[in-house]
Amino acid sequence: DNCGTTAQQTFTLTVNSVQAACAPLPSGLAAWYRAENNANDFTGQHHGQLLNNLGFATGQTGLAFNFDGVDDGVKIPAANSLN
């Protein structure tokens, strides 16, 4: 302070993370590929295979597929529930 004295105080800082609310999953969802370092189907039914060194980049939430525009892709096995 202006008088040349000091005082010690202890403070507690609490940080609460706020996550964006996600929309509910639509009924009848057949597959959901979140691109979180893999091509897995979040519904657990139709996992894909990454092709030709497909990479990942920062997405709107989490990661996203980063296609090179040449030959990258995700191969999804055929399934009647996807038709």
Structure confidence by residue, pLDDT tens digits, 36-63: 999 999 888 899 999 998 999 998 888 9
Task: Return the structure tokens found at 17.
Answer: 């993370």
Over 90: is that where the pLDDT of 27 sits?
no
Average pLDDT over the chain reads 82
Q: What is the pLDDT of residues 64-73, one digit of tens each?
A: 999 988 899 9
Note the pLDDT of residue 39: 93
* pLDDT score for 15: 65
Q: Which residues contact 75 (CB under 8 A, 6 or more apart)?
A: 39, 48, 49, 51
SS3 25: coil
Instruction: List the single range of 13-17, 34-38, 79-83 with lowest mean pLDDT.
Output: 13-17
